[in-house]
């Protein structure tokens, strides 16, 4: 571990990170395409466990299902037919999940398999469901191990590369950082596989248009190369996350990055994290309804940045479902905030003025104690 003095400037976003999405790509996870590199996986799990022990929440996005399945099926060439890729992923995903589970168990940690599709993240309702399931796992101190649900996706709707999935998970959980581990030490000014003179770029802005020109495609095992990693950094920046791209084979790479060491490439968001996230939220969705708040609710939202509880809501207008954007107004009709609502309009109408501990008794279920969580709320 380095002393504070040795920490590289501009790396505070990593040293202060409380929630980190770590993406490990196919190029690293597979032993040159021959199944999973289990000892290497054990090494990353040790580092994640060390971060976890420091109180940092880690969500892992791991590739490797197709490669592991190919090895188990005795296929030496990656198939191009979607149904064969799906079959390989179905076989390999169980081995991948077991491998992580075994290594996390050495640290007395639990891991959970989360397989997502594009729809889970683009449909508002499913987005909120995926979000609350992942949050619950994180709150339970479980390490979610996320991958694309390759077995059920078709070509048209697949992420294809896990860099994009990692960035969307970082958005979903408002992570502070996305760490992309790959087989190169970071982003170079040209593809080092083809240009031995290529130089490492230590830092940059995620939205710098010059980056895309430097990035090439992926290797035989990986999918997107640096092109998708830069796009992922741009996506992650929308919700304020910083992205680090680093070589996964370097000793203790994760813990060293979080200690502020100048490894790999750091791509920063244009705006400060919270501001970026709120902008992203504010620009996101169409408003479907209106909640009228009492004076107390207006003042806690404005002055304390609190969540909106049903007890402070006097009226509901419009037809909306869980996950829709609604506008909150005061009793004079003045706009106060916008946010993603946890209950549909019918349920919300039944909860007006009620304390949160009554939600379950009134509705027969409880999605969340708040009508709008403060992370999903933008004060106007």
Ligand X SMILES: Nc1ncnc2c1ncn2[C@@H]1O[C@H](COP(=O)(O)OP(=O)(O)O)[C@@H](O)[C@H]1O
Ligand Y SMILES: N[C@@H](CCC(=O)OP(=O)(O)O)C(=O)O
Q: Name which of ligand X, ligand Y, none residue 190 binds, using a CB cut-off of 5 to 8 Å depending on partner kind.
A: ligand X
H-helix or E-strand spanning residue 377: strand 377-379
Nearer to ligand X, 11 or 229 (CB): 229
223 lies in the binding site for ligand Y (CB under 6 A): yes
DSSP bridge partners of 180: 23, 245
Q: Give the C-alpha distances (Å, rounded to integers) separating 268 from 105, 152, 202.
A: 34, 34, 11
**Dihedral sign computed on CA atoms, order 18, 275, 299, 351:** negative
Q: In a 3-state reduction of DSSP, which class is residue 368?
A: coil
Nearest to 226 by CA among 215, 235, 237, 234: 215
Per DSSP bridges, beta strands 265-268 and 177-182 are unpaired
Contact pattern for ligand Y over residues 153 through 192, marking x by CB under 6 A: --------xxx-----------------------------
Least CB distance to ligand X at residue 226 (A): 4
323 lies in the binding site for ligand Y (CB under 6 A): no
Sheet bearing 143-148, strands edge to edge:
111-116, 143-148, 57-62, 19-24, 177-182, 242-247, 265-268, 203-205
Size of the site for ligand Y (CB under 6 A): 18
Q: Which residues of 176-195 are buried (b: 16+ CB within 10 A; e: fewer)?
A: bbbbbbbbbbbbbbbbbeee
Q: Give the C-alpha distances (Å, rounded to integers) separating 145 from 29, 65, 221, 229, 244.
A: 14, 12, 20, 19, 19
292 annotated binding-site participant:
no
Least CB distance to ligand Y at residue 65 (A): 3
Q: Which of 13, 17, 20, 27 binds ligand X (CB under 6 A)?
A: 27
Nearer to ligand X, 190 or 363 (CB): 190
21 lies in the binding site for ligand Y (CB under 6 A): no
Q: How far, in Å, CA of 370 to CA of 92, rounded?
A: 40
171 annotated binding-site participant:
no
Q: In a 3-state reduction of DSSP, which class is residue 43?
A: helix
Q: Which of 8, 49, 142, 190 binds ligand X (CB under 6 A)?
A: 190
Nearer to ligand Y, 66 or 372 (CB): 66
Q: Which of 193, 249, 314, 350 binds ligand X (CB under 6 A)?
A: 193
Nearer to ligand X, 103 or 231 (CB): 231
State how far Cα 51 lies from the chain centre. Answer: 17
Nearer to ligand Y, 152 or 368 (CB): 152
Nearer to ligand Y, 220 or 380 (CB): 220
299 annotated binding-site participant:
no
Query: Is the CB of residue 240 less than 8 Å from the CB of residue 277?
Result: yes
167 lies in the binding site for ligand X (CB under 6 A): no
Q: Which of 219, 247, 318, 369 binds ligand X (CB under 6 A)?
A: 219
Sheet bearing 335-340, strands edge to edge:
313-318, 287-293, 325-329, 335-340, 377-379
Least CB distance to ligand Y at residue 88 (A): 8
Q: Rounded to the nearest 5°, which phi and psi values hold at 243?
A: -120, 135
64 lies in the binding site for ligand X (CB under 6 A): no
Q: Which of 215, 276, 347, 351 binds ligand X (CB under 6 A)?
A: 215
Q: How far, in Å, CA of 213 to CA of 227, rounded?
A: 9
Nearer to ligand Y, 245 or 297 (CB): 245
Q: Name which of ligand X, ligand Y, none residue 147 binds, using a CB cut-off of 5 to 8 Å depending on partner kind.
A: ligand Y
Residue with tokens 């830092």: 203
345 annotated binding-site participant:
no
Per DSSP, helices labelled H in the chain are 12-15, 26-29, 38-53, 65-73, 82-106, 118-122, 124-139, 162-172, 209-214, 225-238, 253-258, 273-282, 295-299, 345-351, 359-363
Site residues for ligand Y, window 185-214 (CB under 6 A)? none
Q: Which of 184, 243, 292, 376 binds ligand X (CB under 6 A)?
A: 184
Least CB distance to ligand Y at residue 240 (A): 22
Nearer to ligand Y, 103 or 223 (CB): 223
Q: Which residue ranges make up the annotated binding site for ATP? A: 23, 182-183
Residues of the shown chain interacting with ligand X in the complex, contacts defined by CB under 6 A: 25-28, 63, 182-184, 187-188, 190-193, 214-216, 218-219, 222-226
Residues of the shown chain interacting with ligand Y in the complex, contacts defined by CB under 6 A: 25-26, 63-67, 89, 147-148, 150, 161-163, 218, 222-224
């Amino acid at each position: 571990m380095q002393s504070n003095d040795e920490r590289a400037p501009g790396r505070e976003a990593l040293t202060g990170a409380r929630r980190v999405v770590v993406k490990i790509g196919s190029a690293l996870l597979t032993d040159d395409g021959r199944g999973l590199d289990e000892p290497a996986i054990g090494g990353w799990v040790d580092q994640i466990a060390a971060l976890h022990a420091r109180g940092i929440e880690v969500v892992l996005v791991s590739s490797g299902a197709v490669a592991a399945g190919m090895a188990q099926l005795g296929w030496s060439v990656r198939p191009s037919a979607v149904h064969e890729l799906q079959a390989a992923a179905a076989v390999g995903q169980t081995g991948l999940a077991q491998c992580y589970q075994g290594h996390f168990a050495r640290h007395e940690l639990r891991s959970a398999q989360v397989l997502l599709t594009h729809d889970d993240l683009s449909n508002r309702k499913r987005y909120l469901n995926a979000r609350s399931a992942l949050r619950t796992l994180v709150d339970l101190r479980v390490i979610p191990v996320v991958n694309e649900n390759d077995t059920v996706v078709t070509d048209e709707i697949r992420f294809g590369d896990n860099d994009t999935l990692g960035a969307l998970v970082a958005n979903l959980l408002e992570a502070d950082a996305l760490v992309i581990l790959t087989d190169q030490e970071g982003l170079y000014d040209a593809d080092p596989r083809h240009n031995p003179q290529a130089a490492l770029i230590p830092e940059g802005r995620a939205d710098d248009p010059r980056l895309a020109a430097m990035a090439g495609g992926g290797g035989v095992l990986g999918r997107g190369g640096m092109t998708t990693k830069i796009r992922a950094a741009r996506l992650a920046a929308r919700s304020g996350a910083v992205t680090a791209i680093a070589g996964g084979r370097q000793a203790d790479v994760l813990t060293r990055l979080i200690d502020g060491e100048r490894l790999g490439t750091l791509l920063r968001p244009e705006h400060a994290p919270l501001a970026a996230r709120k902008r992203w939220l504010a620009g996101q969705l169409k408003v479907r309804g209106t909640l009228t708040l009492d004076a107390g609710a207006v003042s806690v939202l404005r002055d304390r940045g609190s969540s909106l509880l049903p007890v402070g809501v006097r009226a509901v207008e419009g037809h909306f479902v869980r996950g829709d954007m609604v506008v909150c107004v005061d009793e004079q009709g003045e706009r106060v905030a916008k946010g993603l609502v946890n209950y549909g309009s019918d349920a919300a109408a039944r909860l007006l003025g009620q304390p949160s501990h009554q939600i379950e008794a009134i509705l027969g279920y409880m999605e969340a104690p708040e009508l709008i969580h403060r992370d999903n709320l933008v004060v106007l």
